[in-house]
Chain A
Amino acid sequence: MSFLADNFSLLRDAFLTTLSLAVVSGIVALVLGTVLAAMRVSPIPALRALATFYVETFRNTPLTVVFFFLAFGIVYIDLQFPSRFITAVAALSLYTAAFVCEAVRSGINAVPPGQAEAARALGLDFRQSLSTVVLPQAFRTVVPPLGNVWIALAKNTSIAAGFAVTDLTAVLQRLANANADQLAMVFLAVVVAYLVITLSSAWVIGILERRLAITR
């Protein structure tokens, strides 16, 4: 037990890094993914094609490869992220946005057509009917899939450890190398930290789902 007490501050910082990585990327991915979803249902074919291309590309690329390109590839087009944390946020949010887009789009498709037809009959244009009528309803139906995307994102942050961000998994590797005799303890601590994030998220999502569900 004294081992955990000795490394408490290290583990706490790593936990907070993992959490902030997930939260910041989650917010960016939510915004980007919603814009992409709006593009995928928009009247302009070029926008639809662009969004489809984005989603197909990122869904079929391993997250590790995305990380790789943002960490080592973009220097060749003379770009550079200010810090490794921001690189990780960029990779996670670009990747997750594709999944958010698909979740939101499935939600838009789940809104009964009568709602959009009524909105248009009232004279709302595409932007108005999407933002005031369809999307608010869509978001309520996509709470479970978006929640799943969030949990997957929280787990995916572990890949940032391979790219020099000191999150929980990086600390796991460091402590495992330094304290070979305490390996079980190290794994236990890190796994519990991840479970705190994922299981509590699942619990909150369950509550939200019941609160927001639309009974039709």
Chain B
Amino acid sequence: MTGPRVLFDLPGPRARRRQRIGSLLGIVLVLLLVGLALWRLGANGQLEVERWAILFDPATNVPQRLLEALGNTLQVAAVGMLAATVLGALLAVGRLSEHVWVRIPVVSVIEFFRAVPLLVLILFCFLFLPQVGVSLSAFGALALGLTLYNMAVLAEIIRAGILSVERGQSESAYALGLRKWQVMSFVLVPQAVRRMLPVLVAQLVVLLKDSSLGFIVGYMELLRTSRSLVETLNFSFGPRYTFQLYVAAGLIYILVNVLLSQLAKYIERRTSRNAKTAGTTKVELPADSSAVTGLGTDPLRV
């Protein structure tokens, strides 16, 4: 179905009037709810300008701390993404291998890490690894947990990307006398990467969101920093700035992620009209949530 238009007739003048009245009522209702929330906030004194000003006043050190926290969040996400992409590519190649003794362990690694909650993996790196002699900072535990989980997800994305390159491409490459590794690195991967780019950026959004789990292991990312700011400020002023700081952290997340999502959409539009991807077939690449093989593919990220 190509759009919502198939489901209903284009509205005539009377239907349009009815819709406008309905829309207006709906908007009024939403505005009423928002107004009610704002009124309660105001009644509790949460809307005082002075309470929000702290977010922008460098003298209080709050904007610097938040900026630093955003830096930490982006840092752990970048490390996780890089490591996960490299390992994911290796796993994907392993899964596409012709040798059963390579494929079976690789498949079990991928399936295992996709079926276990990310938080459990992070806790494993944080609590268990130090006991067996691998001591990790909160940053290390978070980055390693994110890497382990996302390498499995990315392996599936990359595998699907490589499989989406039409068979004629590799067949003609073999016919030209290229070796297996040459076919992979000169023919399949360059074409697959263009197809995968939007999904990879989308996965980066997921990873960035997941880095907020650092809150639980005590890594100073955005959420944890707001928490600690709230605690220090509560110490001197009482619970005055709690709500404002959490709202700020939430808004920063939404802003960064919306920007990244838009980037993914932009790349998708660009690649879809790029002649260089013509050799790939249009298939949905799997994303984060498709937990186990045989589940089909899934354009959604959870």
Contact = CB atoms under 8 A, between A and B. Distances in A.
Q: Do A and B bind each other?
A: yes
Nearest to A110: B1
B111 to A, nearest CB: 8
Given A69-B250, A159-B213, A191-B116, A103 B300 contact: yes
Contacts of B11: 43
Contacts of B30: 50
A202 B7 CA distance: 33
Contacts of B216: 161-162
A91 to B, nearest CB: 13
B59 interface: no
A78 B44 contact: yes
Contact of B302 (A99, A116, A117, A162): A99
A58 to B, nearest CB: 10
B223 interface: yes
A149 B1 contact: no
B299 A195 contact: no
B302 A96 contact: yes
A127 to B, nearest CB: 10
A36 interface: no
Contacts of A149: 289, 300, 302
Interface residues of B, number: 67
Contact of A148 (B1, B22, B223, B289): B289
The B interface, classified by DSSP as helix, strand, loop or mixed, is helix
Interface string B244-287: 00110110011001100100000000000000000000000000
A144 B212 contact: no
Nearest to B129: A183
B170 interface: no
A165 B205 CA distance: 27
A81 interface: no
Contacts of B1: 108-113, 116, 134
Given A56-B258, A76-B41, A145 B298 contact: yes
A205 B299 CA distance: 17
Contacts of A187: 120, 124, 128
Contacts of B117: 155-158, 169, 194
A130 B44 CA distance: 44
B131 interface: yes
Given A64-B213, A116-B1, A151-B289, A144 B295 contact: yes
B253 A65 contact: yes
Given A64-B215, A72-B242, A116-B7, A172 B120 contact: yes
Interface in B107-134: 115-120, 123-124, 127-128, 131
A61 interface: yes
Interface string A34-69: 000000111111111010000011011111110011
The A interface, classified by DSSP as helix, strand, loop or mixed, is helix
B210 A62 contact: yes
B294 interface: yes
Contacts, number: 207
B298 A144 contact: yes
Interface in A138-154: 144-145, 147-149, 151-153
B46 interface: yes
A205 B212 CA distance: 30
A75 to B, nearest CB: 9
Interface string A107-137: 0111111001100100001100110001000
Q: Which of A77, A78, A112, A172 has the most CB of B within 10 A?
A: A77
Contacts of A134: 1, 7
Given A46-B26, A60-B257, A68 B246 contact: yes
The 6 closest A-B CB pairs, nearest first, are: A144-B296, A152-B302, A46-B23, A202-B292, A60-B257, A158-B117
Interface of B: 1-2, 4, 6-9, 11, 15, 19, 22-24, 26-27, 30, 36-37, 40-41, 44, 46, 115-120, 123-124, 127-128, 131, 205, 209-213, 215-216, 223, 242-243, 246-247, 249-250, 253-254, 257-258, 261, 288-292, 294-302
Interface of A: 40-48, 50, 56-57, 59-65, 68-69, 72-73, 76-78, 96, 99, 102-103, 106, 108-113, 116-117, 120, 125-126, 129-130, 134, 144-145, 147-149, 151-153, 155-159, 161-162, 169, 172-173, 176, 180, 183-184, 187, 190-191, 194-195, 198-199, 202, 205-206, 209
